[in-house]
Amino acid sequence: MRRAYNSVLHLPQLSSCPQCAAPYIPHRVCNSCGYYKGRQIITITTGQ
């Protein structure tokens, strides 16, 4: 039984972005707005 427990997949913990309130993985750049620690790291463009 203990071996089966180790093979369970764990869901990633999500936080909400302080800039846009979208869910994101901690310690990563937000995919919605491009901010990390209050600074804009990447520029997000609207796709056409």
pLDDT digit string (tens) for 4-46? 777 788 888 999 999 999 999 999 999 999 999 999 999 988 7
Q: Which of 30, 29, 34 is nearest to 45 (CA)?
A: 34
- Tell me what pLDDT residue 1 has: 55
Domain segments of the chain: what residues? Answer: 1-48
- Which of helix, strand or coil describes residue 3? helix
Q: What is the pLDDT of residue 9?
A: 83
DSSP-assigned letter for residue 17: -
Alpha-helix residue ranges (DSSP H) falling in 1-48? 2-6
